Chain A
């Protein structure tokens, strides 16, 4: 049923048949452009900034403690 609905959805969108993309990024092209994935893009950048920022803060805190301990 799910497979049938997926085929139906593809047909309704007029999308091309899925390609054999072994070894490459798999995608099914859409006639109306790419799906909006900007939320994932912002999530990726936000995670990176938090991780790098957190590590910089950790290093500066360690150095500040070392300075106080002199």
Chain B
């Protein structure tokens, strides 16, 4: 991570010069290779579903993106936002901001690949049912969170207001998880993340596990890069303010 340490909560102080702004790093390289390997395995070495056809393979990018974007990114957003309100450390604000932006990309993938798959299995691109609609609402809330950050000039006010909004937005995640149980809708029940044994053949399950690990690696590599950029940006802003 960049060589910046906070001298006091709410400020970025430089120790030993300006923070490094490295570009491509080994972690991102490994994550990209893992994602390519997972996609090659999914596309060419995993059986086609007998009922749903080749489009079912969207599952291997749709569900890992949902796990990273909804559960991990929004979880980090909530935890770092609440922690920021408590201890007022700038690094937590940067972590919340980075989680929200990277999570927005992953949730965007969920919202785009879902309709492509739905067109083949449901015969329609979009259904206004509970899980899909609430995921769209969460995406809009996270987008609103990022827009809010851009609209407030004072760093302290920006961090405080966005921490409140971030922690409230993430409350939607448990609701989204339970929508398939609470409401009758088109979206299928969980096939992997459930109390019972996953209801998938072993070849598909191993591809899904590989894809999940690969996309989680990509998520953390992008989060690391985004956090690093936020650190450099804040350090530069602090230097200009002096």
Indicate if the CB atoms of B236 and A44 lie closer than 8 Å.
no
| A33 neighbours in B (Cβ, 8 Å) | 50
| B133 neighbours in A (Cβ, 8 Å) | none
Selected contact of A34 from candidates B22, B24, B52, B117, CB within 8 Å: B52
For residue B189, CB closer than 8 A to chain A, the reply is yes
Q: Which of B54-62, B88-96, B147-155, B163-171 contacts A (4 or more CB under 8 A)?
A: B54-62
Selected contact of B108 from candidates A22, A35, A36, A51, CB within 8 Å: A51
Selected contact of B189 from candidates A24, A40, A62, CB within 8 Å: A24
Chain B: interface residue total (CB-CB under 8 A): 51
For residue B119, CB closer than 8 A to chain A, the reply is yes
Output the least CB separation between B159 and chain A (Å).
Answer: 20
- For the complex, give the distance between the alpha carbons of A58 and B102 in Å: 12
Indicate if the CB atoms of A63 and B225 lie closer than 8 Å.
yes
- For the complex, give the distance between the alpha carbons of A51 and B48 in Å: 25
| A36 neighbours in B (Cβ, 8 Å) | 53-54
For residue B186, CB closer than 8 A to chain A, the reply is yes
Indicate if the CB atoms of B112 and A47 lie closer than 8 Å.
yes
For residue B78, CB closer than 8 A to chain A, the reply is no
| B49 neighbours in A (Cβ, 8 Å) | 34
Enumerate B17-49 residues with CB–CB distance to A below 8 Å: 18, 21-24, 28, 32, 35, 39, 43, 48-49
Selected contact of A59 from candidates B65, B180, B184, B229, CB within 8 Å: B229
Enumerate B222-242 residues with CB–CB distance to A below 8 Å: 222, 225-226, 228-229, 232-233, 236
- Knowing A44-B58, A66-B21 touch, does A26 contact B222 (C-beta < 8 A)? no
Beyond the given A40-B58, A47-B109, could you list 19 further A-B residue pairs with CB under 8 A, ordered by the A residue number?
A22-B184, A23-B185, A26-B122, A27-B52, A27-B121, A37-B54, A38-B53, A40-B54, A44-B55, A44-B61, A47-B116, A48-B61, A52-B218, A59-B222, A60-B23, A64-B21, A66-B236, A70-B18, A70-B21
A to B CB contacts below 8 Å, 14 in the list:
A37-B52, A38-B55, A40-B55, A44-B113, A44-B116, A47-B113, A48-B112, A51-B105, A52-B105, A52-B218, A55-B105, A60-B23, A63-B228, A70-B18
